[in-house]
Amino acid sequence: HAAVCGGSVRLLESYRGRDKVIRTICYGSQLVGGALSRGAELNSSSSQQFGKSLLLFSAQLSHCRTVLRLFDDLSMLAYSHSYGLGSGEEDAGVRWISVLSNVADQLYYPCEHIAWAADAELIRVKSDKWWLFSTVLWGTSLMLGILRSLRVLLLLKKKLRKSKRDGQYSSRSQLHRQMQLEILSIFSGMADLSNAIHWMPPGFLWAGRFPSWLVGLLGTISSLIGLIQMNVTSTGGDSSQ
């Protein structure tokens, strides 16, 4: 019990950890609230009201995360600068996918900031196109992330086959762990990408067709995977919306 509490405190004390917890609660509330609202005809009035309250709570947490991301530009810039053109990467495909992903992430933040400022009436511009730009950039980053994980997974499989041929049994467990993390990243990216497409303008694939509970479900799955990956990484294994 003490270990669980200690781990939770350490998670909440870090910015990234707190953001992942808020994200999980945000989408979890949307999942439950959307499910209760969807079955409104079968629920009591108190259940309906609770569902609406959860959806409002989820919206507030989402707004909270948007405000907190106002301060992410410099950290993203520092990461992009340290990665550079990825000279430390062994594979050229992974390197250039990562560079493009960093560019999309870097451009995402100012677009979202402008959209937020427009909604808050701090600047006199229409927010719609800026929300669209930020969603497109987020979706682009997610697609690149999925491609990167697929490429890394392919490279890890080659390393695993080589280790079997060479009889290097000691490295197999680490390779298997890395492959599991990449598979989780693919599932997480696909869940988020599904939601990103849902938030695109109507007429684009399944844009606008997801009910609230499905958006919450996909976001919850992605958020839980993020928490698992953070836990695995912090115990020795091995970012927006």
Is pLDDT of 18 > 70? yes
Rounded CA-CA distance 192/63 in Å is 18
- Model pTM? 0.90
Whether the predicted pLDDT of 239 surpasses 70: no
Taking the C-alpha atoms of residue 103 and residue 207, their distance in angstroms, rounded to an integer, is: 25
The residue ranges of every structural domain in the chain are 1-69+208-238, 72-196
Q: Is it the case that residue 238 has pLDDT exceeding 50?
A: no
Amino acid at position 53, single letter = S
Question: What is the DSSP code (8-state) at residue 44?
Answer: -
Give the least confident one: 8-17, 42-51, 196-205.
Answer: 42-51
Q: Write down the pLDDT at residue 14.
A: 86
Give 168 or 93, the one with higher predicted confidence: 93
pLDDT-based confidence at residue 38 (cuts at 50, 70, 90): confident
* Residue-by-residue DSSP string for 203-217: TSTTTT---HHHHHH
Residue 142's pLDDT band (cuts 50, 70, 90):
very high
> Using CA atoms, how far apart are residues 223 and 231, in angstroms rounded to an integer?
12
Position 237 scores a pLDDT of 42
27 to 36, 93, 202, 206, 220: CA distances (angstroms): 14, 33, 22, 19, 5
- Give 28's Cβ-side CA count (13 Å radius): 8
